[in-house]
Amino acid sequence: MTNTVHSVEMVDISKSFFGVKVLDEVSFAVLPGEIHALAGENGAGKSTLMKILQGVYSMDSGEIRIAGSSVSIHSFQDARNLGIGMVFQEFSLVPELTVAQNIFLDREHKNRFGLFDEKETVKQAHIVMESLGLHIDVTAKVSTLGRAYQQLTEIAKAIAGDAKILILDEPTASLAKEEVEALFKVLRGLTSRGVSIIYISHRMDEIYKICNRITILRDGKRIAVASLEEITPNEIIAHITGRKDLEMLAHDGRSSSQFESPNFEVEGLQVGTRVNHVSFQLFPGQILGLAGLMGSGRTELVRALFGLDKKDQGTIKIDGKEVTIKNPRDAMAHGLAFIPEDRRRQGLIMEHTVKHNILSTNLSSLSHHSFLNFPKINSVVNNAITKFEVRPGEANREVRLFSGGNQQKVVIAKWMATNPRFVLLDEPTVGVDIGTKVEIMKLIRSIAHEGKSVILISSELPELLSVCDRILVIRKGEIAEDLNRNEIKDEDHLQMIVQGIHV
């Protein structure tokens, strides 16, 4: 074994952004023909590590070896020439081109006049597909294919580019079960040809099904490397989350019996195929958690509540009265606030200042006959900055210049300034360092203590466990479980439920 040459070897990789260490001497190695899982929370450093391997970021220190020899990767092009292929979560295919044209995009077959050779392209694409054991019409436009076939086309594209190392980021996030099987078959076929696969996933069952080994990162450090035959799911979860975080986020033992009558009721909510007949009640001062895998319908549910997506069926009652929420303006008028999952695209206007971002949700309360009331704006903004501990506390600084955690505080601050009754939070701690995570959890508790009702979506189960009074587990758009906090033993227990593994 000692003489085995790794197909990829990353040694002592370190990387900092703006003085924050996101990778701390991380080593990572993959054998030829191996499927190697890379696991860790959001922000643990997985994607940074992969981006270094693809030449998107440069490392501060460390070494990369491909097939035993040291290489330097400065661009995507370099990575591709070294046989590193990436299957993007957001596909990089051109929808209006055919499968064959996409596979050979930017290395088109030319005929002797230097023109695009459609015949040769189709023939070669066929050969690639055959080798993967796939029967896809390579002359079909990509836009006519389902998600799974688009994904397989993406893989074919990487293979046609002679990829020896394939990176897959959450490849099954939007696939149906049969499609997942087809994907796995292709992946196994590839490994028998000696291709190495780096498999990034949060889904425990899939990791056990298809991977040989796993590397776990947490807070920019490599925590463990193990063969999947030697490690239990519980151990993996423990490594991913880190027990000490759990202590920092300990549940404060509120009982749900303190709630009298619900002030927010959802009945039979239907949104396309993503949310299926969902009903639940929310009480004043209650924190309701929504747990579920990515793509389970959690986000779609809250988006519909806030009027961002059209509801096909179902009613929402506030204080027992049915209300109509067709757009975010209706939702805000009924006292809802929504902290969205993607703060850069949905939460903030990155080029605007903190002051203007806070102002944007409060325009009518901070103006008089459409004229902005600047003294009032300044005092509200300064109070918000102090209360939510935005650092640095400069109201006139553009939000893009703040750290992720402080940006998120600005989002929370601007919504809390609207004085909402119902606060919806979708993954509020994504890409936020552990210190700020704890602060955000404290904030959520204090929001509930003020008597506001909170709906919290999080993929990080310790967070849900630490603050929620009740947790709904969402699976395939339905409420699969409705649990009181005290019915859940610990994180592992909840993890099993979320994964759909019954103990």
Partner 1 sequence: MKIANLKKIDFRSTLIYWMFLVIFLAFSVILHDDGFLQSNNLLNILRQTATITVMAVAMTFVISAAEIDLSIGGVAGLTSVVAALMVRDHGLVQGILAGLAIGFIVGSANGLLVARVGIPSFLVTLGMQGVAVGFAALVTNYYPVPILNDTFNRIFGSGTIGKFPGLLLWSFTAVIIGWVTLTKTTFGRRVLATGGNRDAAEFNGINTKNIKFQVMLISSVVASIAGLLYAGRLQTGRYEWGAGDELSAIAAVILGGTSLFGGSGRIIGTFFGALLVGLINNGLILAGLPVSQQQIIRGLIIILAVALARKK
Task: Closer to partner 1 by CB, 177 or 345: give it.
Answer: 345
Q: What is the Cα–Cα distance from 254 to 232, expressed in whole angstroms?
A: 32
- C-alpha span between 226 and 240 (Å, rounded): 13
Q: Is 78 exposed, middle or buried (0-12, 13-18, 19+ CB in 10 A)?
A: middle
Angle formed at CA 80 by CA 75 and CA 83, multiple of 5 degrees: 135
Contacting partner 1 within 410-449 (CB under 8 A): 414
Establish if 359 lies at the interface with partner 1 (CB under 8 A).
Answer: yes
Q: Examine residue 360 and tell whether it contacts partner 1 (CB under 8 A).
A: yes
Q: Which of 268/393 has CB closer to partner 1?
A: 393
With CB under 8 A as the contact rule, the residue among 155, 332, 434, 479 that binds partner 1 is: 332
Task: Compare residues 349 and 501 and give the one whose CB is closer to partner 1.
Answer: 349
Binding span for partner 1 by CB under 8 A among 79-87, 162-170, 348-356, 444-452? 348-356
- The residue from 363, 379, 490, 501 that contacts partner 1 (CB under 8 A) is 363
Q: Which is nearer to partner 1, 359 or 479 (CB)?
A: 359
> Using CB under 8 A, which of 138, 348, 425, 494 touches partner 1?
348
* # residues near partner 1 by CB under 8 A: 27
Q: In Å, what is the CA distance from 307 to each residue of 155, 262, 469?
A: 37, 21, 25
Confirm or reject binding of residue 327 to partner 1 (CB under 8 A). yes
Residues 6+ apart with CB under 8 A from 216: 39, 40, 222, 223, 224, 225, 236, 239, 240
Dihedral pair phi/psi, residue 262, rounded to 5°:
-70, 145
Site for partner 1 in 364-393 (CB under 8 A): 364, 367, 370-372
Q: Tell me the CB-side half-sphere exposure of residue 434, using CA atoms within 13 A.
A: 17
Question: For residues 172 and 178, what is the distance between their CA atoms, to the nearest angstrom?
Answer: 11
Q: Which stretch binds partner 1 (CB under 8 A): 58-66, 79-87, 90-98, 349-357?
A: 349-357
Q: How far is the CB of 200 from partner 1 (least distance, A)?
A: 26
Per CB under 8 A, does 331 bind partner 1? yes
* Burial zone of 329 (CB within 10 Å; 0-12 exposed, 13-18 middle, 19+ buried): exposed
In this structure, the number of other CB atoms found within 10 A of the CB of residue 146 comes to 12
Q: How far apart are CA 74 and CA 90, in angstroms?
A: 22
Min dist. Cβ of residue 486 to partner 1 (A): 35
Query: In terms of C-beta distances under 8 Å and separation of at least 24 residues, what long-range contacts does 241-249 make, across chains too?
Result: 241/41, 241/460, 241/461, 241/462, 241/491, 242/218, 245/434, 245/437, 245/462, 246/462, 246/465, 246/466, 246/491, 248/434, 248/438, 249/437, 249/438, 249/441, 249/462, 249/463, 249/465, 249/466, 249/467
- Provide the minimum distance between the beta carbon of 395 and partner 1 in the complex, in angstroms, as a whole number: 13
Q: What minimum distance in Å lies between the beta carbon of 333 and partner 1?
A: 9
- The bridge status of strand 422-426 relative to strand 453-457 is parallel
The whole-angstrom separation of Cα 124 and Cα 429 is 46
The binder of partner 1 chosen from 90, 351, 375, 502 (CB under 8 A): 351
Could you tell me whether strands 35-39 and 213-218 are parallel, antiparallel, or unpaired per DSSP bridges? parallel
The answer to the question of residue 486 lying near partner 1 (CB under 8 A) is no
Q: Name the minimum Å distance from CB 161 to partner 1.
A: 32
Contact call for residue 350 and partner 1 (CB under 8 A): yes
Binding string, residues 283-322; x marks residues near partner 1 by CB under 8 A: -------------------------x--------------
Query: What number of CA atoms fall less than 13 Å from residue 463's CA on the CB side?
Result: 28
Q: Taking CB under 8 A as the rule, does residue 455 contact partner 1? A: no
Q: Is the peptide bond before 392 cis (omega within 30 degrees of 0)?
A: yes
Cβ distance to partner 1 smaller for residue 46 or 298: 298
Is the CB of 280 or the CB of 338 nearer to partner 1? 338
Q: Interface mask (CB under 8 A) for partner 1, residues 55-74, using x and -?
A: --------------------
Residue 329 CB, nearest approach to partner 1 (Å): 5
Neighbouring C-alpha atoms within 13 Å toward the C-beta of 84? 27
Closer Cβ to partner 1, 254 or 311, answer by number:
311
Which residue bears the tokens 């967070």?
463
Q: Site for partner 1 (CB under 8 A): which residue of 361, 408, 436, 466?
A: 361
Choices 16-24, 54-62, 116-124, 342-350; region in contact with partner 1 by CB under 8 A: 342-350
Contacting residues toward partner 1, per CB under 8 A: 308, 327-329, 331-332, 338, 340, 345-352, 356, 359-361, 363-364, 367, 370-372, 414
